[in-house]
Amino acid sequence: MVLTEDYGYPVSRMELEYEVTFGREKKRADIVIFDKQQTTSPFIIVELKKPKLKDGKEQLKSYCNATGAPIGVWSNGRQISYYHRKDPNYFEDLSGIPRVDQKLSNILSERWKIADLIKKDKLVNERKSLKDLILEMEDEVLAGAGVDVFEEVFKLIFTKLFDEMESGRKPDRNLEFRNYGDTETELRDKLQTLFDQAKEKWQGVFTDDAKILLTPSHLSVCVASLQDVKLFNSNLDVVDEAFEYLINKSSKGEKGQYFTPRYVIDMCVKMLNPKADEKMIDTAAGSCGFPVHTIFHVWENILKSKGLSRSHLFTLEEKPAECTDYVQNNVFAIDFDEKAVRVARTLNLIAGDGQTNVMHLNTLD
């Protein structure tokens, strides 16, 4: 129904249980939409059976590789994912599939603004978490990329946060953390420029000469995975969870770190009810859960006192001077783990509009 009514594909271009041959073995793809010109060539393959994305994606990839279909769709009835087959080894995420009157290039070259990202946020529409997407990227390209996964994913999230903030404060600006049909080399150069701008805006997280080390082909896959995700929301919990996963994975639990669940932090902050004229310090801050949630609590009270409401883009919007003054003058954090400190600085830099009081020290010294 969706393929015919929403996308306009005629039933005559479809086949159910389409036979796909693998040497002597034969399997059946659930739904195939054929190319308009080459009427026997699969254009889109839809796989509906496998309940887990990893299993379903592997089966979908095998069908696309065997038939040469450039587009694949997987759904288990609750989640849905769209993929563009670039070669047998790499499948890039798509924002959607073309309608009957469109080409694949129309989808790839569509310009997005922040309003489009809010409307089409993959985490909402496909019911995924940022952690899920990072796990997919690890399976797809990062595990064999020969790079530090924490560093490269951190660079991409850092760059995308900057891009969203720029477009959030200039609604007519096109998002740059996207592949608009660029070549892999063009995309790498564009992302490096954006990363350099982010480093200039939020200093003290990366060295001045830091570069994105992913190969152009690996970077292209990762950008496609992340470009439809809205990282900024009401409390930064999207990036919070992802950063926590990356830090834990990177340290492999060898430092005895424990990250307090965010709902526990919320409860503690509400019970303590910090005020704008009070100072707070967290001497084992980790990724800065307590300081950041304290900031949000105080901000909300400042906004209420001014008759302003908290929106779904609360963390992205420009705040009154009292809000940034509170972050810059009253909130402090310490941690001994270098990676956790850099994550914490990123979150605090965003909150403090370029200022942070997160220090890399050992509290026990």
Answer yes or no: is 242 within a domain. no
Give the domain-ending residue among 108, 137, 158: 108
pLDDT bin (cut points 50, 70, 90) of residue 319 is confident
Asked if the structure places residue 200 within a domain, the reply is: yes
User: Do the domain assignments include residue 333?
Assistant: yes
pLDDT in tens, 140-191: 788 777 888 899 999 999 999 999 999 988 999 999 999 998 999 999 999 9
Q: What is the pLDDT of residue 340?
A: 85
Q: Is 303 helix (H, G, I), strand (E, B) or coil?
A: helix
- Per-residue pLDDT at 257: 59
Distance, CA of 60 to CA of 288 (rounded, Å): 40
Give Cβ neighbours of residue 327 (< 8 Å, ≥ 6 apart): 295, 348, 351, 352, 353, 355
Task: Evaluate whether residue 139 is within a structural domain.
Answer: yes
Q: Are the C-beta atoms of 342 and 205 separated by less than 8 Å? A: yes
- Predicted pLDDT at 263: 84
Same domain, 289 and 350: yes
pLDDT at 226: 95
More confident residue, 235 or 194: 194
Per the document, the length of the chain is 365
What residues contact 239, with CB distance under 8 A and at least 6 apart? Answer: 130, 157, 161, 231, 347
339 in the same domain as 282: yes
354, 269: one domain: yes
d(CA 43, CA 202): 44
In sequence order, the 6+-apart residues with CB closer than 8 A to the CB of 19 are: 26, 27, 28
Q: Are residues 97 and 121 in the same domain?
A: no
Q: Note whether 280 and 294 are within 8 A (CB).
A: yes
List C-alpha distances in Å: 88 to 83, 111, 215, 221.
12, 27, 17, 13
The secondary structure of 231-254 as a DSSP string is: ---SSSHHHHHHHHHHHHHHHTTT
Q: Is pLDDT at 209 greater than 90 in this prediction?
A: yes
Domain boundary among 74, 108, 142: 108
**Does residue 263 share a domain with residue 219?**
no
Q: Is residue 198 located within the same domain as residue 95? A: no
Look at residues 64, 79, 70 and name the one whose alpha carbon lies nearest to residue 127: 79
Tens-place pLDDT, residues 306-318: 888 776 666 677 7
Domain with 96 in it: 2-108
351 and 296 co-located in one domain: yes
Nearest by Cα to 57 from 81, 78, 30: 81
Rounded to whole angstroms, the Cα distance separating 357 from 353 reads 12
Query: Is 250 a domain residue?
Result: no
Q: Is residue 129 a part of any domain in this protein?
A: yes
Residue bearing tokens 């005895």: 256
pLDDT digits (tens, 9 = 90+) for 36-95: 888 889 999 999 876 666 778 888 989 999 999 999 999 888 888 899 998 767 888 999
Which amino acid, 257? Answer: Q
Do residues 90 and 118 share a domain? no
Residues 6 or more apart in contact with residue 200 via CB below 8 angstroms: none
Among residues 150, 144, 112, 154, the alpha carbon closest in space to that of 217 is found at 144
Q: What are the tens digits of pLDDT across the range 232-291?
A: 876 677 887 788 888 877 765 545 556 788 889 989 999 999 999 999 999 988 878 899
SS3 of residue 327 by DSSP: helix
Domain count, the chain: 3
Is 355 among the domain residues? yes
What is the structure's pLDDT at 298? 93
Q: What is the pTM of this model?
A: 0.84
State the pLDDT at residue 312: 63
Residue 364: pLDDT band (50, 70, 90) is confident
Shared domain for 12 and 101, answered yes or no, is yes
Residue ending a domain, choose from 86, 108, 130: 108
Q: pLDDT value at position 87?
A: 74
- The order of strands in the sheet holding 14-22 is 14-22, 25-34, 42-47, 71-75, 80-87, 90-93
The CATH number that applies at residue 62 is 3.90.1570.30
pLDDT higher for 363 or 202? 202
Residues 130 and 29 both lie in one domain: no
User: Among residues 222, 241, 239, which one has the least CA distance to residue 230?
Assistant: 239
- Residue 137 in domain: yes
Does residue 59 sit in the same domain as residue 100?
Answer: yes
Are residues 124 and 46 part of one domain? Answer: no
